[in-house]
Structure 1
Amino acid sequence: MIKSMTGFGRGESSDEIHNFNVEIRSVNHRYNDIVLKMPKHINYLEEKVKECIKNKISRGRIEVYINLEYIDDSAIEVKVDLLLAKAYKNALDDLIDKLGMLDDVKLSHILNFSDIVKTERKELDEDKTWACLNLAVEEALNNLINMRIKEGLILKSDLETQLDVMYDIIEKIEERSPLVVKDYKKKLELRIKEILNVDYIDEERLAYEVAFFADKSDINEEVIRLKSHIKQFKESLEDEEPVGRKLDFLIQEMNREINTIGSKANDLVISNCVVAIKSQLEKIREQVQNIE
């Protein structure tokens, strides 16, 4: 089944230390472009997160937002630089003495120096951290994929409708094509009679000219290939694998065939049909841009 490249998914996972909240958004893109925003101290897990995504999504711009809260305060360590604190106190005492101020150095004064107290994350078990994060990533991915599938079903239905409309127009071209040669023969015969002002025409010469025109304007092969491409397109919509690039290629091929038909068929009715098909193909192309 086809999937849209647009979607959103959220996942959450907790253990006795971590609480992970993961949000994943995706939009259309030619390649698999993954952008991660996560706490710096767990950047070592970035490649594992990307690998999870690549295993399930082959195309699109994927934006991943990972938020981590620690449940257990044992994961946080507060360090105080006592030597630096004493140095600051001695310097402040000396300054007060030299300025002749009647004041004392208080703890609040020393704490204004941000380099005295530092908060650090303790060394955590990498496997345990990943196990918790992986659950949240998988949940967010599954929710994202479900949304992409739902939107894919809507796209599939719309594409099938557009293809049916296009097929009907092609059949009109097919019905009209034999009449073009007959109309050309009648017009050519009348024109020759008008120009030469005669009632008799060399039938052999006329047949030659009509045969030449018929060969030059024959669009039977192009119509057959165009119908074949539409059939392939519809069959591809049922594939389980990502088909976005394949559908894009088929659209290019259909455009090539309809352009050839337009250049060969010297007929107003067929020309109008060609314009209508090009309009349908453009609508289809826009939809395909959002298929994985």
Structure 2
Amino acid sequence: MANSMTGFGQHTVYVDQTSISVEVRTVNHRFFDLSLKIPRSFYVLEAKVKNILQSYFGRGRVEVYVTVEGQGLVERVVDVDWLLLDQYINHMTVIKEKYLDKHDLSVDILPNLEEIFIVTEVEKQTDQIKKAFIDAVNIACQQAEQMRQTEGSMLIEDILKRMKNIDKITNQLHDRRDTVIKDYHKRILDRLSNYTAEINQTSDPRIFQEVALLAEKGDISEEITRLHSHVEQFIDTANQVAPKEIGRKLEFILQEMLRETNTIGSKANDPQISNWVVDLKTEIEKIKEQIQNIE
């Protein structure tokens, strides 16, 4: 069955003193649109993560949020600015020689000279951390995909019910078609009779030819046939066992159905058919709204 484009998945993994949490959110979009927000330490895996996401989701906006907590990914390292320290030592030597009697200066004050100590954080990327992160991405994607499948099944179920109603109305249009043509034919003759009472209609075949041509313009047989065909094609597409991005195809079929419905409404000068056309448009618009979220 078809997939919805709305889904959510979340998974957290723990490595030593670090937790890595991955959230995947998906919503409807005409194309595959990815927003990937990951820590700088995982930039090296960005291409791999994108490939994983595209293997799960063919269409929709996909937002991925990665949160890292703990110290397992960072190691703090202390370094010394030796050039600066040499200058301190040289100046301290001069100071001690010049002011030895007044001040007792020693190297004990060095820890207070924060400028000479440089503390940096080195990010660690072990194979264990990389694997844990990729596993979390996969599991979050699987959860989001499952949600999309569940919602997609519900959408298709409701859409097919509406499509069966459309098929029912189309059958009613077909059954009424002959009656409408006869009524239309009679109305044309009656009007001709009122305006051209002096013409002997039975003796002039051209009158009947013109009436037939006018009546044919109001014939909706071809539109009904195409509408039946579109309904069957829509149902077959929606019932595909392993669909791949069928949303666009369903949108196109629905657009063609709406086109045929509008033509029927403009050609058939009949109150009952006009009511059915309104019902058809209502069902098509409701289906159109739902299809916007089909992958």
* CA-CA distance at 1:210 after TM superposition: 3.0
2:238 paired residue number? 237
Q: Secondary structure at the match of 1:290?
A: coil
Partner Cα separation in structure 1 for residue 116 and residue 28 of structure 2 = 45
Counterpart of 2:270, as a letter, is D
Q: Is the 8 A contact 1:21 1:66 kept in 2?
A: yes
Does 275-284 or 206-215 show the bigger shift? Answer: 206-215
After the TM superposition, list the runs of 4 or more consecutive aligned residues in structure 1 that deviate by more than 6 angstroms: 87-90, 104-109
Counterpart of 2:273, as a letter, is I
1:63 paired residue number? 63
1:190 paired residue number? 190
Q: Is the 8 A contact 2:80 2:116 kept in 1?
A: no
Give unpaired runs (5+ residues) of structure 2: 93-102
- 1:212 and 2:238 aligned: no
Counterpart of 2:129, as a letter, is T
Partner Cα separation in structure 1 for residue 117 and residue 182 of structure 2 = 94
Larger Rg: 2
Counterpart of 1:241, as a letter, is P
Q: Secondary structure at the match of 1:116?
A: strand
Shift of the 196–207 alpha-carbon distance from structure 1 to 2, 3 Å rule, reads: closer
1:246 paired residue number? 249
TM-score (norm 1): 0.83
Counterpart of 2:119, as a letter, is V
Q: Is the 8 A contact 1:84 1:116 kept in 2?
A: no
RMSD across aligned positions (CA): 3.1
* CA-CA distance at 1:150 after TM superposition: 1.2
Counterpart of 1:120, as a letter, is V
Q: Secondary structure at the match of 1:218?
A: coil
* CA-CA distance at 1:289 after TM superposition: 0.8
Q: Percent same amino acid at aligned positions?
A: 38
Give unpaired runs (5+ residues) of structure 1: 94-101
TM-score (norm 2): 0.82
2:174 paired residue number? 174
1:43 paired residue number? 43
1:98 paired residue number? none
* CA-CA distance at 1:286 after TM superposition: 1.1
Shift of the 66–217 alpha-carbon distance from structure 1 to 2, 3 Å rule, reads: same
- Equivalent residues, number: 281
Shift of the 189–214 alpha-carbon distance from structure 1 to 2, 3 Å rule, reads: closer
Shift of the 182–44 alpha-carbon distance from structure 1 to 2, 3 Å rule, reads: same
Q: Is the 8 A contact 1:37 1:65 kept in 2?
A: yes
Shift of the 202–146 alpha-carbon distance from structure 1 to 2, 3 Å rule, reads: same
2:225 paired residue number? 224
Q: Secondary structure at the match of 1:202?
A: helix
Q: What pairs up with 1:75-86 in 2 under 5 angstroms?
A: 75-83=74-82, 86=85
Q: What pairs up with 1:1-292 in 2 under 5 angstroms?
A: 1-16=1-16, 18-70=18-70, 72=72, 75-83=74-82, 86=85, 110-111=113-114, 116-122=118-124, 124-125=125-126, 127-197=127-197, 201-202=201-202, 204-239=205-240, 240-242=242-244, 243-292=246-295
Q: Secondary structure at the match of 2:201?
A: coil
Shift of the 185–221 alpha-carbon distance from structure 1 to 2, 3 Å rule, reads: closer
Q: Is the 8 A contact 2:84 2:116 kept in 1?
A: no
Q: Secondary structure at the match of 2:35?
A: strand
